[in-house]
Structure 1
Amino acid sequence: MSNIAFIGGVVETPAYFDNDILNIDLLILRKDLNKVERLTVITNNNEAIAKAVREINEGDYFLTTNAHIMTKTYLRTKELECSECYNTEYKKVKSERTEVIFNDFSILKFEGDMPEGINKVFLEGNVCSDLNYRDKDGKSYCKYKLAVNQKVFDTKAEYPYIVTFGKDAELSKTYLKKNSRVFIEGSIQQRDIRQSEPFRCDACGVEAVKKIPNIVREIITSNVLFLDKDKSDDK
């Protein structure tokens, strides 16, 4: 079974804790895409935390070849403020997010220009949602959820969203359906989004749609292997 992540980038801010989990914000220079990506990696490994507190400084190059993705469920607090009477309400909602978990790392010092980053993920699993396929202006897009088990017959799984473009998206539409097995090579994309939330003020009754900030992470594919393709061809 595959659930492996290789991540390398420059530490953007000092490491910080969220409850008992250590967070590290990275800047990853993707020369293949000609852009700098932001990605947060986390750990609750006591040895990794102690090492990070001792060794990691802002501006260092952080490298881990001992990481994997995990789907975490947590309670998120939405802050909703009325634009008329300024009454503020707080709403707790259950959310799910893909996290990058590391268990060990190396720190490299550098001078001069930002070094090239590393953002590689290798996953094997079964499609566990309907495919969201679109073809607009000749640009194909396909998104689905993947169940990634840690080992054979393991009932626990992680559930990242997979996004493919172009030819891989077209092939995904042809060869994939629920329970299809697939091997993914790709990278983790972290995006800041604003989700629409219907709101009715308890104080003055005004109704509105609020935009609530959130973070999503998806796996953007660079290579897809359709492991059930031969079976499909035989039918």
Structure 2
Amino acid sequence: MQGLNKVTLIGNLGKDPEVKMLEGGIALAKFPLATGESYKDSEGVKQTQTEWHNIIVWRSLAEIAGKYLKKGSSIYLEGKIKTRSYDDKDGNKKYVTEIIADNFIMLGKPSSDRANINETI
């Protein structure tokens, strides 16, 4: 049986996307995305929990993210979850879980810069 690796998030950027151009002119963008959920605790007091997600975007979508997304931007995104490992400077194995986005939609009121986004895609 095959599995399904699908993530759907709606949240706000924690900082501006960091865009890098790799060999061959391939764009890569990284940014943190905050999602929140609210509930009432046993005493009826509203509690809010924020979860932070490490987002990775590739190619033309990365270029669009770098041009139009800013800290605080609200987006809907779809992608897959991926965990990778690396060794830190002391030789300890570290793990990072990231969301590899393959699609996003900017939410909220369009800014003047993105008014003509369809012309640039």
TM-score by length of 2: 0.78
How large is the Cα RMSD of the aligned pairs?
A: 1.9
User: What percentage of aligned pairs have identical amino acids?
Assistant: 32
Letter matched to residue 50 of structure 2: A
Distance 1:228 1:194 in 2: 40
Greater percentage in strand: 1
Match of residue 185 from structure 1? 78
3-state SS of 2:66 partner: helix
Distance 1:173 1:190 in 2: 24
Residue 130 of structure 1: how far off its partner (Å): 3.3
Residue 214 of structure 1: how far off its partner (Å): 1.3
More RCO (CA 8 Å, sep 6+) = 2
3-state SS of 1:230 partner: coil
Report how many residues are paired.
106
Check the 8 A contact 2:16/2:69 in 1, yes or no. no
Letter matched to residue 49 of structure 2: K
TM-score by length of 1: 0.42
Match of residue 214 from structure 1? 94
Structure 2: where are the runs of 5+ without partners?
Answer: 39-45, 116-121
Alignment of 1:1-235 (within 5 A): 115-136=1-22, 137-151=24-38, 155-196=48-89, 210-228=90-108, 230-232=110-112, 233=114
Residue 155 of structure 1: how far off its partner (Å): 3.8
Check the 8 A contact 2:19/2:62 in 1, yes or no. yes
Greater percentage in helix: 2
Structure 1: where are the runs of 5+ without partners?
Answer: 1-114, 197-209
Letter matched to residue 182 of structure 1: I
Structure whose CA Rg is larger = 1
